Structure 1
Amino acid sequence: MFSKYSPPFKIETENVTISVEKENGNLVYKRVLNGDATEKILLHNDSEFLINPIEPVNIPKKISSFLLIDLKRPVMIAPNDKQKVHLKFPVEIGVFVSRKEGEYKPIDVLTLSSSKFTLYGNPSHGMICKYWESDVYSSYPHPDILYEGNIELDIVNDTNRWIEVTKAVFNAYGMKIYYGSDRISMRAVMKIISKSLAETDFLTYPVTPGLSRSMELFTSRKIRLNGTKSIMEFGL
């Protein structure tokens, strides 16, 4: 599914169908997901389409730019240690259109994964996050890429005590997503500053050679970034 397309084309997989047809000198974009249909007319007939994974914080609607991954089993990391783990994250799919190479406009966002939000912190000073639950893996977990991707996370404990980690919070503005025919991945770092404070950020190179860099939705909208890191100040 994740690739560039020239119209007309039709993609059918799982519970989603995406197609672009030519009609009276224009293009008609159609998407059917679990019986729910979306249709748009593009007043142009010479366009290229790109379908790729995007930052997973847009569905059911844009509420927050933060993703919280709740660990099914907490992990313990030793003092002044660094360890690598793998987590799963929900996949959202962006459909982009372009008349010129590299100048893409988002026209649709969809997901096959469930979507819910949660509060990280207290009601008065906390923040709303997209919520996902994941096991912790020592190596690449081979998820179904229509539903889940993989975060390769380096956990760095800069304290002189054992630290328990139960969750990870990430800022979508910093996400760098890479994909291939059988993999969707990001690389991130969690730097533990104290028993209740950590900082997360993303790395800008893929976990393995040969992957393509996603057109991120926030980048395509030319949003001015105020920072890409996430400060976990309400506990680990």
Structure 2
Amino acid sequence: MESQSTISDYSKYGKYTVDDTLTLKIPNCILTLTKISANKYRYSKDSDSNTTELLTTEKSILEIELAPILPITLPSKKSKYIMFNFNDKIYVDANSKSNIYVQFPLEIGLFIIGSNDSRRLLDSFTLDPENSRFGLYGNPDNGIFCNHFDVKTESSGKIQSIPYRQGILKITMHNPLDHEIVVGTLVFLVSNHTMYYVNNSTHVDDLTFTIKQDAGMNSFAKISSVPLECQNGWSVSPQISDKTDTPFVMCEGFD
């Protein structure tokens, strides 16, 4: 991870106006937007995968937003689900609740701000491309294709957001059964979550994980997002996927 002195030299999340030329710098990547003529701009990205694109805008002044986004666009946007494999399994006592915290992987999005304050995703990138991979939850015939991540857990709220790489996610584990449960895998519909940022720090909506049993005494888990209140000074990241009110149910195991 970059040192604090280096992090302070990078561009912060937020909105920017492009007059003639705007340069944004994040680790391993430099973004440049240059005005060519009225309503025409050139966008270039100097990184491992260089990009150059010509833009035609509907407004005479180009406004953009640099913001953390859900980690679902890379290596390609194929799933709204995330599968976490916990490095250390979580033990939840009978008839109890416990909170854990994980460093939530994120991508960075560059958006064009249009009329009526609309957002169009111009580009997205990650500082951890080796962690952008897929996994399957369930059987090969009808399983769920997921964005897959290995994550560490913390039992206290001392976990820190890592600028440009990871935000913070709080998970409440609820076990109303009369025996202990072990959780090693968590799958959820990440498109139901909103991300929030200030400077270079990121939070994401909380998550609840509740154990249930069916009539045959088979255990399953109900997963729901819990919206956060946007605190003073924090901004809401643009949403890149539609939300649904339907909780996700893990019925193919979670240990």
Flag whether TM exceeds 0.5 (same fold): yes
Alignment partner, residue 214 of structure 1: 237
Task: State the alpha-carbon separation in 2 of the partners of residues 99 and 213 from structure 1.
Answer: 17
Q: Alpha-carbon deviation of 1:165?
A: 0.7
Do the aligned partners of residues 196 and 32 (structure 1) sit closer, same or farther apart at CA in structure 2, a change above 3 Å counting? farther
Task: State the alpha-carbon separation in 2 of the partners of residues 21 and 100 from structure 1.
Answer: 20
Task: Supply the AA of the counterpart residue of 1:28.
Answer: R
Task: Supply the AA of the counterpart residue of 1:30.
Answer: S
Task: State the alpha-carbon separation in 2 of the partners of residues 160 and 50 from structure 1.
Answer: 49
Alignment partner, residue 197 of structure 2: 179
Task: State the alpha-carbon separation in 2 of the partners of residues 183 and 13 from structure 1.
Answer: 13
Alignment partner, residue 9 of structure 1: 22
Within a 5 Å distance, the mapping from 1:194-233 to structure 2 comes to: 194=213, 196-206=219-229, 210-218=233-241, 223=242, 225-233=243-251
- Cα contact 1:86–1:141 (8 A) shared by 2: yes
1:2-57 CA-to-partner distances (Å, cap 9, x unmatched) read 110100311122101112111133111112222x1112211234221011111111
* 1:173 counterpart SS class: helix
Within a 5 Å distance, the mapping from 1:29-108 to structure 2 comes to: 29-34=43-48, 36-44=49-57, 45-108=60-123
Greater CA radius of gyration, 1 or 2? 2
Alignment partner, residue 5 of structure 2: none
1:112-152 CA-to-partner distances (Å, cap 9, x unmatched) read 12311111111122111111111110224214221112111
Task: Supply the AA of the counterpart residue of 1:102.
Answer: D
Runs of 4+ deviating beyond 6 Å: none
Identity of aligned residues (%): 23
* 1:20 counterpart SS class: strand
TM-score, structure 2 as length reference: 0.83
Do the aligned partners of residues 62 and 228 (structure 1) sit closer, same or farther apart at CA in structure 2, a change above 3 Å counting? farther
Task: Supply the AA of the counterpart residue of 1:107.
Answer: L
1:235 paired with 2:253, answer yes
Q: Alpha-carbon deviation of 1:207?
A: 8.3
Alignment partner, residue 4 of structure 2: none
Q: Alpha-carbon deviation of 1:228?
A: 4.7
1:28 to 24, 38, 42: 42
- Cα contact 1:67–1:170 (8 A) shared by 2: yes
Do the aligned partners of residues 57 and 47 (structure 1) sit closer, same or farther apart at CA in structure 2, a change above 3 Å counting? same
Task: Supply the AA of the counterpart residue of 2:179.
Answer: R
Task: State the alpha-carbon separation in 2 of the partners of residues 105 and 41 from structure 1.
Answer: 15
Do the aligned partners of residues 207 and 170 (structure 1) sit closer, same or farther apart at CA in structure 2, a change above 3 Å counting? farther
Task: State the alpha-carbon separation in 1 of the partners of residues 231 and 100 from structure 2.
Answer: 15
1:122 paired with 2:133, answer no
Do the aligned partners of residues 181 and 42 (structure 1) sit closer, same or farther apart at CA in structure 2, a change above 3 Å counting? same
Q: Alpha-carbon deviation of 1:229?
A: 2.4
* Mean Cα deviation higher: 102-111 or 195-204: 195-204
5+ long unaligned stretches in structure 2: 1-11
Do the aligned partners of residues 141 and 174 (structure 1) sit closer, same or farther apart at CA in structure 2, a change above 3 Å counting? same
Task: State the alpha-carbon separation in 2 of the partners of residues 24 and 103 from structure 1.
Answer: 23
Query: Number of matched residues?
Result: 230
* 2:31 counterpart SS class: strand
Task: State the alpha-carbon separation in 1 of the partners of residues 91 and 28 from structure 2.
Answer: 39
